[in-house]
Amino acid sequence: MTTAGNATFFRPRTSGDTWEVPHSAVVIGGAAWALAAVQFIAAHAAAAYAWTPAYSWARNHIGDLANTQCGMFSVPNGEPIYVCSPLHAVMNASFVLTGVLVIVGALLLWKYWPTGWLADTATVLWIMLGFGKILVGLAPEDTNIGLHLVGCLNVQLGALGILLLSMVLFRSDPRLSRVGIVLATIGLFGTVLGTIGEYAGTSLYLGLGSGGMQRVATYPSLVWLLVVGVVTAVRCLRNPLRV
């Protein structure tokens, strides 16, 4: 049920008790997720545009935008490629900010989702994704490739987080659930081909290049953050008493 006075949701838990979910928490949580995606996309585009010679969306990885030096560079099992990102500080800051906003949004939206272990697990995955983004920003690929690659595991966590939350929303919001399942499938597809392609050959990149396949794996999480963030925030603003 809900109360009109303070616009608070009361979510029943599987244990039989209830959790109060302030309307403001849902709006702020949704806005945090949407802002995480928007600012990351803006920083990504600005950093790529600043490159000379031009940044390759097919051959360069996203992490190359945050590389702090100019010269030839390659990730483990990758091809050497020239890297020089004048706005690397902007990109690293964006990674950290993305992580913080994802964690804030996940914590604020946690009690808003339908209850159960799937929603709780998805929330944990999104929090871990946030810390992964922060680690990527604090450990650029050229300064500590080991920590950087650990942080990059956020890509897989994002795809799994989308899938679990989509399963949670299947009955209460089938349209959003279907969008999530499609995005999760794309993300997992890109993750699998991108990982295997590092060892089995570039043909698995389907002509997109290693950088392009990395984007197939990564971008679905950004789309999900933007869509879910906007949808939840707008719904609550339009109808504060919607459960």
Banded pLDDT at 211 (limits 50, 70, 90): confident
Banded pLDDT at 212 (limits 50, 70, 90): confident
Please check whether residue 64 lies inside any domain of the structure. yes
CA nearest neighbour of 157 among 218, 93, 229, 225: 218
pLDDT at 114: 77
Please check whether residue 10 lies inside any domain of the structure. no
Single pTM value for the model: 0.86
Q: Which residues form the domain of 202?
A: 20-238
Banded pLDDT at 243 (limits 50, 70, 90): very low
Neighbouring residues of 3: CB distance < 8 A, sequence distance ≥ 6: 10
Please check whether residue 46 lies inside any domain of the structure. yes
Please check whether residue 189 lies inside any domain of the structure. yes
Please check whether residue 102 lies inside any domain of the structure. yes
Instruction: Give rounded-to-5 percent helix, strand, coil for the chain.
Output: 65, 5, 25
Handedness of CA 136, 141, 147, 153 (dihedral sign): positive
Domains identified in the chain, total number: 1
The two beta strands, 2-3 and 8-12, are antiparallel
- In this structure, the number of other CB atoms found within 10 A of the CB of residue 189 comes to 16
Please check whether residue 75 lies inside any domain of the structure. yes
pLDDT in tens, 220-231: 999 999 999 999
Please check whether residue 4 lies inside any domain of the structure. no
pLDDT at 200: 66
